[in-house]
Structure 1
Amino acid sequence: MTSVWYNDKNLYYIQILKETGMTEYKTTWREKIFYGVGATGLDLSYGMFYSFLSYYLSSVLGLKEGFLLLLTPIARIWDGINDPMMGTIVDNTRTKFGKYRPWIVIGAVCNAVVLWLLFTKFGMSGTGLYIYIGVMYILWGMTNTMADIPYWSMVPSFTSDPKDRNLVSTVARTFSGLGQGIITVATPIILPLLSKGTDEYVTDKGYSASGFSKWAGICAILLVAFSVICVLSTKEKNVVYGEKTKFSFKKIFSVVAHNDQLVVFMIFAMLSNAGWYLTSGTTVYYFSDVLGKPTAQSAFSMVGAIGSVAGLFVIPILSKWLNKKQIYQVSLIATFIGYILMYITGPVLKNTTALSICYIISSTGIASMFVSQTIFLADIVDYGEYKNGERNESITFSMKGFLQKMAYTIQTIFLFGGLAIVNYSDQVNNGRVFNDTTKSAIGLICFGIPAILIAVSFVVFTKKFKLHGELADKVHDHIVGKRNSEKEQ
């Protein structure tokens, strides 16, 4: 290789890549699939928390909306400390089993235990129940972070090849969607079966606290099993170990502040994710309290699963003609159109069949959106090294978990704020007879507000996100050239 030093290190690394002709490692399908299995386990817990916890707390346990509105911001304040702290811990990890895999298992076991505890009230009531739920709620976020950050941070460690990395992310998101699908489709069917024979309070839809506890226990066992399978079947091939650093807010703020594309990502992803969380968290209210057909939610979710599968093929197909930015824009547009049609066919026209068909459109866009976000984050890690000379993988990916929890906070504000305005809890305690105002509010929260959030997210993304096209190519060539240079030394 010609020994030439360029004033621009980026050009130097690109020249190394061209002259050595060194190739990049590509993952096998076995690795991709078993890595994805881990996502299924994580999303069983995720789905229970984000799609059914709100209903469990407000409609089954009868907790006041004001408590839930207060609890979520408190939890998010702690997450603002805990998530980047966990990212720093993972970045500093050095074991013979790898940098990420040990934490995936540890986090999965802890999160599984807390998930079951969160949905098990042990006969408590009154102030004791409120305190217990508050503690478990915060612990769920902490333990989820322990598994989620190292899991998604592993994506760049498999390969630096853009196409292979995209495929790894797509497969992982496919299995992630499977986990969500299991929860949304199976829960309305399984809960009444698990609630039979209990002496405790059972809602008119057949849901009980003991039913939720049993179902959460099953999901917890599967979470651990799938995480172990994932860890035993994958290897970290492309891990970059930097110098060990101590956790400090100054470091976290520095990583975020000096990576402009990370800041932009956090804003547009938080808005779009909040829209999706509103739908996933309010659907159970819509089908149970507005339509009075809780089992219809399973059919609705199953139809949405078809769109989710279709969405996973959007990126490979459209990538032949469009770049990453354009594909993401198409995904958001499809999601927005789907939401508008769902609001018209559902709350306005009250046509459940048409509502489900329209859900295919939005779920296709959402699935593609989530895959793109994972790809963007892996690229943002590389961009941080390209721009600032530091990767900070786990800290960067911890922002994904934090923004998702902030998106859930937005969901909570709209959901419980809206329910409080229409006095939902009073109607629950008075025979579960809901007036037209309450039903209209639930429909708006479920399908109307998400469309607005998606539209705002589209504007932010289109105007501010630059990591695509020529810049993305420069970043990739820089990283690969740098790795090959390091191997030769």
Structure 2
Amino acid sequence: MRMSKKLTWVSKISFGLGAFGKDAVYAIVSTFLLYFLTDIKGVAPAFVGTLFLVARIFDAVNDPIMGVIVDNTRSKFGKFRPWIMLGTVLNAIVLIFLYWNTSLSGTAYATYIAVLYILWGMTYTIEDIPYWSMVPALTDDPKERDQISSIPRFFASLAWLVVGSGGFAIIGFLGKGDSADGFSKFAMIISVVFIIASTLTCLKCREAHETPKNTEKTSLKQMVKILFTNDQVLVVLGIAAFFNLGYQLENSFATFYFKYVTGSADGTLFSVYTGVAGIAQMATLALFPSISAKIGRPVAYLIAAITQIFGFAALMACGFIAPSNIILVGICSAIINIGIGFMLVLVTVSLADVVDYGEYKFGTRNESVIFSTQTFVVKLAGAVSGFISGIGLELIGFVENTAQSPQTITGMRVLMFVIPGIFAIITYIIYKRFYKIRGTFFENMKAELEKRR
């Protein structure tokens, strides 16, 4: 069925607000949980790294299953919105307890955190899968699809800006000297924002077409077939995997790098770095539809790789020449995050095109199954990067709240810059060599789908 109705700006902004809420939640966990558990609560880094690996792999495996559940949902509210609200409420509750300033310690606290972290990942999946799966269901117009992919990424970057750059200041204000209490109150505020944002998304965003109730449902066997016969799903999985490995590794190590390598113990440089990062991403995301229309997505992929690699190299060099120079840190952060901003949208629009490719090749769209691969990869990358971070801290001889040895500082630089830069190179190579939904093939595919509809 052709989607002829244009999306209103109210719908577009409401959809974006949903990303603000859920990414504020993801930001406080991704950016601060490792720091919270090791530096504040004194949990062993190796335990935290292992927990991140095991929990996120378990959670990632659930993503395609959740995709099948959503694709098979038939209700008067559509197949996406019921799950978005359920996942939001459950995840908000778990987040509060994850950062709860409990008096537990030792094995009891480790067990408490392990259970809650696993629950947090599972409940986030319930909301995240149907949210991103709505993208191809909202519109099939390429220009609108670029918009509806970039707008939520814009709001997501705004969430990361607020949580990342303002996090330490907010936590300090709320905790009044007690960081653990500050984190607890901050998590409560973010949870409330999450619920409000998702409510607006569900009230103002509707699928452009409903799935007929008599449509054949997707089985787990069919899910596996969809994922492994659609070659372009696997290509985008590879792109998303290496991009997110680098992005999340750099993101999780930033707090340690700026505190222990640059000597900014009060969090000033970290706040500048993440603040500029958020602004750069937001600017890139706001301009992406017009930039993409002029230069095309292949050039956008190239720009994304070059800016990340150059930015990482420049910031590492600054660490030797002028480690505490705020202006240089800001410039390097902007360069890195222009590339990251491009990649955040490019992965989403590429997956939306893969949904169309599946319809073109096999006659089925399977939005939720295909978009579940994105969250699967993000979480798997989070698992691996979290494991690398935790084990890496142990291997390089990290000791919290003390001056680090030269070997430890070198290790932090490698984990913060060198490895993410290598991953950015691999990401572009995969796109250049294997992604084919572009150029003449893309135009012919769209024309054929228009005829069928």
Please state which band the TM-score falls in when normalised by the shorter chain: over 0.9
- Deviation per CA, 1:164-211, whole angstroms, max 9, x where unpaired? 11111111111111111111011011112222264xxxxxxxxx2221
Q: 1: CA distance between counterparts of 2:126 and 2:208?
A: 21
Q: Out of 111, 114, 123, which is 1:134 matched to? A: 114
Give runs of aligned pairs for residues 212-223 of structure 1, distance below 5 A: 212-223=183-194
- CA-CA distance at 1:462 after TM superposition: 1.0
- Residues 127 and 246 from structure 1, CA distance in 2 versus in 1: closer, same or farther, beyond 3 angstroms? farther
Q: 2: CA distance between counterparts of 1:68 and 1:470?
A: 48
Aligned to 2:217: 245
Are the aligned partners of 1:385 and 1:391 in contact in 2 as well (CA < 8 Å)?
yes
Q: 2: CA distance between counterparts of 1:29 and 1:116?
A: 33
Q: 1: CA distance between counterparts of 2:211 and 2:361?
A: 17
Identity %: 35
Q: 1: CA distance between counterparts of 2:408 and 2:200?
A: 45
- Deviation per CA, 1:205-233, whole angstroms, max 9, x where unpaired? xxx22211111111011000111011111
Matched, 1:298 2:271: yes
Aligned to 1:16: none
Q: 2: CA distance between counterparts of 1:54 and 1:86?
A: 27
Are the aligned partners of 2:49 and 2:389 in contact in 1 as well (CA < 8 Å)?
no
- CA-CA distance at 1:419 after TM superposition: 0.5
Matched, 1:73 2:43: no
Are the aligned partners of 1:160 and 1:480 in contact in 2 as well (CA < 8 Å)?
no
Are the aligned partners of 1:341 and 1:355 in contact in 2 as well (CA < 8 Å)?
no
Unaligned runs of 5+ in 1: 1-12, 14-21, 199-207, 484-489
Matched, 1:432 2:412: no
Q: 2: CA distance between counterparts of 1:187 and 1:42?
A: 16
Q: Out of 13, 20, 25, which is 2:5 matched to? A: 25
TM-score scaled by length of structure 1: 0.87
Q: Out of 312, 326, 343, which is 2:299 matched to? A: 326
Letter of the 2:66 partner, please give it.
M
Of stretches 415-424 and 226-235 in structure 1, the one that deviates more from structure 2 is 415-424
Q: 1: CA distance between counterparts of 2:3 and 2:194?
A: 36
- Deviation per CA, 1:70-112, whole angstroms, max 9, x where unpaired? 2233223422431111111111111111111111111111111
Give runs of aligned pairs for residues 242-391 of structure 1, distance below 5 A: 243-245=215-217, 247-248=219-220, 250-290=221-261, 291=263, 292-347=265-320, 349-352=322-325, 353-391=327-365
- Residues 347 and 163 from structure 1, CA distance in 2 versus in 1: closer, same or farther, beyond 3 angstroms? same
- CA-CA distance at 1:313 after TM superposition: 4.4
Aligned residues: 449
Matched, 1:406 2:418: no
SS of 1:245's equivalent? coil
Q: 2: CA distance between counterparts of 1:460 and 1:374?
A: 16
Are the aligned partners of 1:314 and 1:368 in contact in 2 as well (CA < 8 Å)?
no
Are the aligned partners of 1:332 and 1:365 in contact in 2 as well (CA < 8 Å)?
yes
Q: 2: CA distance between counterparts of 1:239 and 1:305?
A: 36
Q: 2: CA distance between counterparts of 1:150 and 1:359?
A: 32
SS of 1:319's equivalent? helix
Q: 2: CA distance between counterparts of 1:307 and 1:88?
A: 36
Are the aligned partners of 1:85 and 1:247 in contact in 2 as well (CA < 8 Å)?
no
- CA-CA distance at 1:407 after TM superposition: 1.3
Aligned to 1:188: 168
Are the aligned partners of 2:143 and 2:289 in contact in 1 as well (CA < 8 Å)?
no
- Deviation per CA, 1:269-321, whole angstroms, max 9, x where unpaired? 11011111112111111222332241332222222223112312453333344
Are the aligned partners of 1:121 and 1:129 in contact in 2 as well (CA < 8 Å)?
no
- CA-CA distance at 1:379 after TM superposition: 0.7
Of stretches 328-337 and 370-379 in structure 1, the one that deviates more from structure 2 is 328-337
Are the aligned partners of 2:23 and 2:156 in contact in 1 as well (CA < 8 Å)?
yes
Are the aligned partners of 1:278 and 1:411 in contact in 2 as well (CA < 8 Å)?
yes
Give structure 1 regions of 4+ aligned residues with deviation exceeding 6 angstroms: none
Matched, 1:156 2:156: no
Of stretches 306-315 and 105-114 in structure 1, the one that deviates more from structure 2 is 306-315
Aligned to 1:91: 71
- Which structure has the greater CA radius of gyration? 1
Are the aligned partners of 1:189 and 1:295 in contact in 2 as well (CA < 8 Å)?
no
Matched, 1:417 2:397: no
Q: 2: CA distance between counterparts of 1:113 and 1:300?
A: 30
Q: Out of 442, 460, 469, which is 2:430 matched to? A: 460
- Residues 26 and 346 from structure 1, CA distance in 2 versus in 1: closer, same or farther, beyond 3 angstroms? farther
- CA-CA distance at 1:120 after TM superposition: 1.4
Q: 2: CA distance between counterparts of 1:68 and 1:161?
A: 44
Are the aligned partners of 2:137 and 2:367 in contact in 1 as well (CA < 8 Å)?
no
Q: Out of 363, 366, 370, which is 1:392 matched to? A: 366
SS of 1:214's equivalent? helix
Are the aligned partners of 1:311 and 1:368 in contact in 2 as well (CA < 8 Å)?
yes
Aligned to 2:103: 123
Unaligned runs of 5+ in 2: none
- Residues 83 and 26 from structure 1, CA distance in 2 versus in 1: closer, same or farther, beyond 3 angstroms? same
Q: 2: CA distance between counterparts of 1:305 and 1:65?
A: 27
C-alpha RMSD of the superposition: 1.9
- CA-CA distance at 1:53 after TM superposition: 0.9
Are the aligned partners of 1:323 and 1:469 in contact in 2 as well (CA < 8 Å)?
no
